[in-house]
């Protein structure tokens, strides 16, 4: 067992490395005398030769995988007495090395530590206690570095620590802040699993270090230090098939084949998960593989069975976080003897959504226009004038009736001529339109495109259906998350009122809050939309939307957080 303390500064890392004298004996093949005593001269000479061994097998890398340049500045060999060291004392005494490492660039955001004492094929893998300081301030509790297993640490140079936590409360607060900042992914070498359950699918998301995954399926790469983008692309098919053929899932007793939603290679930066980073060359010691498998459900499931089949030395168990709809997360552990997880619905199966509206065709009475009233008045005046003019003539009455009849026919022809400004919208249009907007977004609760179309058809007129489907889908798409479609949490109507320049249309404003949840953290986005909407109030149109013109769109908020465990 060796131990190291690394003090990280802006332009250098100073490491105090303590190794047992037994390591000098083992790695330099020293021999004891007849009294099982190792000579001081041999131990000191081996300690000097050990410099190159330490620099080769104890390495630091930055966030891009570039290796720090290291040197041994001095040694403290005071634990080696002149009379030599008995074999029984070799594990009790230590040689101390003071080492300096220079990063490729100042202020490294990440440092990855790797110890391979004993070489890549050590018979007895070594373990090292390791602790980091930043500018001399203790940063986190010590960790054990396993042989060949990289350990990464992140550093904040904008607000570096000025003092170590004084008590357990401060330490807990620091850890909680770190948990939020890292979106719950606090270990760079851990195997993470997230199981999402909802009425449309069972989704299993797996985040695994590249070096761990390679023990299941080797990934070909020309440079053992790095994985190139072309090599990532070349292995996607094999990796996807490897996951598809394992870890079976049953929904209501029926085996379901997974749909590959996403397969990505991530680096150390947590923003890779939050913002769906573009593919790039990554260090093999820092790479993590993320895969999202969706098991679609034809109806809201009542029972789900999931089996985890793959175990190995570096991943002897699987800890999964289970997200059952909007409930607080729970834990599930898969071990070799108990590799199964069963979920059974509590309560009633949700009813099938209805998108019908309480629309009743409006039977409004047509108003007689002012033109018609004028023509009726002229008819009576014309008839009276003709009667006065020809009252002594034999044709007096027929002529009077003829004139009046002509003008009355004109009045009848203009009876439906009502100016637009005098035709007010029915008072129930506002409530009805609000319901239509709610229904439009609820339609996207369905996973299948044809089901979305069928649901939209209750709210949108046929000719507009294709256009509006794409328009709403585009608005729900989160480019930050690889174009994932957000789950709509709320549609809040801000205002609906007749357009001032066209009372047959409605000026509408509403806010849509949607979420995308991946890798144990949740992205929430709220957008506000303004649109001019027109309804088809004919008997065939059934009050559905026939015109939908977006006039403004703006983002109200975007935030990323965690769904926390219930402390109670």
Every domain of the chain and the residues it spans: 2-164, 192-344, 370-417, 429-562
Q: How far apart are CA 53 and CA 99, in angstroms?
A: 13
* Strands (DSSP E) found in 63-150: 69-76, 85-86, 94-102, 110-115, 127-134, 137-138, 143-146
Q: How far apart are CA 415 and CA 536, in angstroms?
A: 23
Please tell me the predicted confidence (pLDDT) of residue 206.
93
pLDDT of the chain, 568 residues: tens digit per residue: 789 999 999 999 999 999 999 999 988 989 988 888 999 999 999 999 999 999 999 999 999 999 999 999 999 999 999 999 998 899 889 999 999 999 999 999 999 999 988 665 554 567 889 999 999 988 777 888 888 889 999 898 998 888 766 666 666 666 666 655 555 555 677 888 999 999 889 999 999 999 889 989 988 889 989 999 999 999 999 999 999 888 999 999 999 999 998 898 988 876 666 566 688 899 999 898 989 999 999 889 999 999 999 988 778 889 999 999 888 899 999 999 999 999 999 888 877 777 777 766 655 445 555 555 565 565 556 555 555 655 555 655 565 555 555 545 555 555 555 444 444 444 468 888 999 999 999 998 887 888 888 899 999 987 898 899 888 888 888 765 666 788 899 999 999 998 888 877 899 999 999 998 888 888 899 999 999 999 988 888 888 999 999 999 999 998 877 777 765 4
Please tell me the predicted confidence (pLDDT) of residue 421.
41
Q: Is residue 449 helix, strand or coil?
A: helix
| CATH placement of domain 429-562 | 3.10.450
How crowded is the C-beta side of 392, counted as CA atoms within 13 Å?
0
Contact residues for 200 (Cβ-Cβ < 8 A; gap 6+):
296, 297, 445, 446, 447
Regarding pTM above 0.85, the answer is no
Please tell me the predicted confidence (pLDDT) of residue 425.
47
Please tell me the predicted confidence (pLDDT) of residue 272.
63
Please tell me the predicted confidence (pLDDT) of residue 326.
82
Contact by Cβ (8 Å): 105, 63? no
Please tell me the predicted confidence (pLDDT) of residue 168.
60
The DSSP letter of residue 537 is: -
**Pairing outcome for strands 94-102 and 13-20:** antiparallel
Instruction: Work out the number of other CB atoms within 10 angstroms of the CB of residue 511.
Output: 15
């Amino acid at each position: 067992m060796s131990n190291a303390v690394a003090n990280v500064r802006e332009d250098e890392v100073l490491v105090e490395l303590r190794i047992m004298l037994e390591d000098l004996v083992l790695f330099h093949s020293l021999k004891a005398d007849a009294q099982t005593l190792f000579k001081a001269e041999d131990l000191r000479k081996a300690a000097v030769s050990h410099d190159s061994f330490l620099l080769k097998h104890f390495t630091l890398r930055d966030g891009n995988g570039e290796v720090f340049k290291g040197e041994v500045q001095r040694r403290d060999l005071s634990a080696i007495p002149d009379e030599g060291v008995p074999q029984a004392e070799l594990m009790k005494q230590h040689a101390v090395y003071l080492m300096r490492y220079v990063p490729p660039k100042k202020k490294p955001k990440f440092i990855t530590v790797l110890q391979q004492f004993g070489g890549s094929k050590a018979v007895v893998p070594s373990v090292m206690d390791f602790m980091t300081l930043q500018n001399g301030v203790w940063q986190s509790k010590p960790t054990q570095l396993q042989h060949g297993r990289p350990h990464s640490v992140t550093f904040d140079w904008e607000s570096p620590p000025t003092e170590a936590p004084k008590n357990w409360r401060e330490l807990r607060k620091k850890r909680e802040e770190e948990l939020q900042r890292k979106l719950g992914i606090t270990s760079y070498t851990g195997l993470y699993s997230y199981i999402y359950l909802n009425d449309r699918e069972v989704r299993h998301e797996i985040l695994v270090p590249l070096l761990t995954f390679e023990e299941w399926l080797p990934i070909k790469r020309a440079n053992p230090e790095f994985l190139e983008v072309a090599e990532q692309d070349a292995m996607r098919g094999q990796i996807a098939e490897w996951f598809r053929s394992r870890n079976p899932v049953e929904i209501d007793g029926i085996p379901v084949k997974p749909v590959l939603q996403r397969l990505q290679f991530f680096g150390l930066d947590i923003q890779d998960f939050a913002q769906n980073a573009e593919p790039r060359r990554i260090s093999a010691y820092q790479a993590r593989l993320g895969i999202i498998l969706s098991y679609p459900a034809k109806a809201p499931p009542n029972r789900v069975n999931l089996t985890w089949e793959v175990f190995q030395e570096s991943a002897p168990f699987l800890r999964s976080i289970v997200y059952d709809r909007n409930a607080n997360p729970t834990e599930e552990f898969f071990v070799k003897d108990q590799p199964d997880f069963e979920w059974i619905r509590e309560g009633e199966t949700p009813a099938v959504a209805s998108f019908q509206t309480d629309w009743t065709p409006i039977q409004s009475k047509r108003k007689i226009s002012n033109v018609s009233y004028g023509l009726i008045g002229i008819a009576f005046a014309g008839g009276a004038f003709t009667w006065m003019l020809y009252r002594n003539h034999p044709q007096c009455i027929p002529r009077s009736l003829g004139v009046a009849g002509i003008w009355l026919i004109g009045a009848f022809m203009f009876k439906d001529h009502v100016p637009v400004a005098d035709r007010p919208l029915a008072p129930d249009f506002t409530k009805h339109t609000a319901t239509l907007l709610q229904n439009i977004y609820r339609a996207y609760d369905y996973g299948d495109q044809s089901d979305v179309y069928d649901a939209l058809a209750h709210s949108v007129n046929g000719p507009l259906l294709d256009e509006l489907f794409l328009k709403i889908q585009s608005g729900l798409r989160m480019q930050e998350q690889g174009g994932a479609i957000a789950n709509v949490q709320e549609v809040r109507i801000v205002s609906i009122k007749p357009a001032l320049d066209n009372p047959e249309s409605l000026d509408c404003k509403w806010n849509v809050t949607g979420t995308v949840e991946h890798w144990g953290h949740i992205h929430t986005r709220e957008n506000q939309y303004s649109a001019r909407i027109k309804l088809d109030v004919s008997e065939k149109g059934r009050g559905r939307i026939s015109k939908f013109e977006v006039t403004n769109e703006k983002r109200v908020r975007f935030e990323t957080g965690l769904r926390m465990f219930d402390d109670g």
